[in-house]
Each structure stands twice: as C-alpha cells, then as structure tokens.
Amino acid sequence: MAPGLLDLVHLTTWAVCAVIKLPQLVAVLRAGSAWGLSLSSLLLELAGYLVFLRYQIYYGYPLETYLEYPIIIAQDAILIYCIMHFSGKARRALFYALIFWGSWYMLTLQKWIIDLAMNMCTFVSAASKLVQLQHLWQTKDSGQASALTWGMSVYTCAARIATTVMTTNDLAVLIRFIIMLILNIWVTATVLHYRKTKKTD
C-alpha cells in the first residue's frame, strides 16, 4: 500500500470512528430506551478497547495506529451511561468507572500482564459481540441497535487490518481485527435481519 493511500485509510478510519457510536446514541436518546442493546456486551467491548489502547501505548506503536480509540472509548462510556440511566442503574456507573480506572494502571505493572491482557482482549472483545448476538437472538428484535454503527465497525476493522499489515505487523493485533471483522459483519446482518422481520410483521 502506497504511503499516500495508507494516510488516506488512516484519515477515513479516524473520521468514521469520530462518529461511530453517534447513530446508536441518537437512536437510544430518541426512543428514551435501550431496548435491543446489551449492557454486558458494551462493558466487555469497553474493556477490550481499554486493553488494546494500553497495549499500543505501552509498546510505543505509532499514534496513527490507535488514535481513534480514545474517541471510541469516550463514546462507549457515554452510551453505557445512557443505557444505565434508561434502565434505572445509573448509580452503578461510578462503580464501573473505578474498576476500569484501576485496571488501566494495573495493566502495565509487569510486561507479562499487558501481554496476557492483550491475548485475552481478543476473547473479551469477541465475547462482547457474541453477547450482543445472543441478546438479539433471544429477543428476536433489534430494538434500538443501530445497523449503521455496526456497519461502521465493519469498515474500521477492515481498514485496521490493512494498516496493521503496513505498519506494526503485530500478529496479535492482526488476529484481533480479523475476528472482530467477522463478528461485526455477523452482528450487522443480524440487526438488519430482525429489523426487516419486524417491518414485514
């Protein structure tokens, strides 16, 4: 991939990630409900993002390979709070914030901890998608789940596979993005399936 094309992929990925959760947030706020969304899935997703960001910073990878993660993490945190608010569990937000904050510092106490966490991060992130899929299968209703948000996640994973190959070539990171790409496609297709099913009923 030519340097100019690589820069373009980085820029489009950052642009998509800057608004990736906004369609989901708008859907939840408009409905005043988080129906169709799994809080457990989002908490696992946030944990995966935090570990991945910490890993990239710890190993001094180029900023352009992870610049979007602070933006996604902030959007995830807002979305999680909204879900807790609409489900009457807003008081738990501080508890989760303290756990994530403490974990952020504990991850780099020893090199083996961050390496193990990165390997586990793929499983945690995959579990977050599987929990969301299970939630959709059980309810057979996509509710406020945004196909646009999930579709943008598909794009960012595909773009990051390309940029990882061209920059760090880190196998653990590459495997993570490939698995996330497959699962994001699956969730997007499931959301669209249940939306279509609901419209035809």
Q: What is the pLDDT of residues 10-67, one digit of tens each?
A: 788 888 888 889 999 998 898 888 888 888 889 999 999 999 899 999 999 888 878 8
- DSSP one-letter code for 65: G
The Cα 17–Cα 198 span in angstroms is: 29
pLDDT in tens, 89-139: 888 888 999 999 999 999 988 999 999 998 888 888 899 999 999 989 998
Q: How confident is the model at residue 199 (pLDDT cuts 50, 70, 90)?
A: low
How far CA 165 is from CA of 1, 89, 115, 157, 195, in Å, comes to: 9, 42, 20, 12, 35
pLDDT tens readout for residues 127-157: 999 999 998 999 888 888 889 999 999 999 9
For the whole model, what pTM was predicted? 0.81
pLDDT at 200: 63
Phi and psi torsions of 194, nearest 5°: -70, -30
Show the beta-strand stretches assigned E in 66-157: none
What is the pLDDT at residue 66? 84
What is the average pLDDT score of the chain?
A: 88
Helix 39-58 and helix 92-106: axis angle, to 10°? 20
> Per-residue pLDDT for 1 more than 60?
no
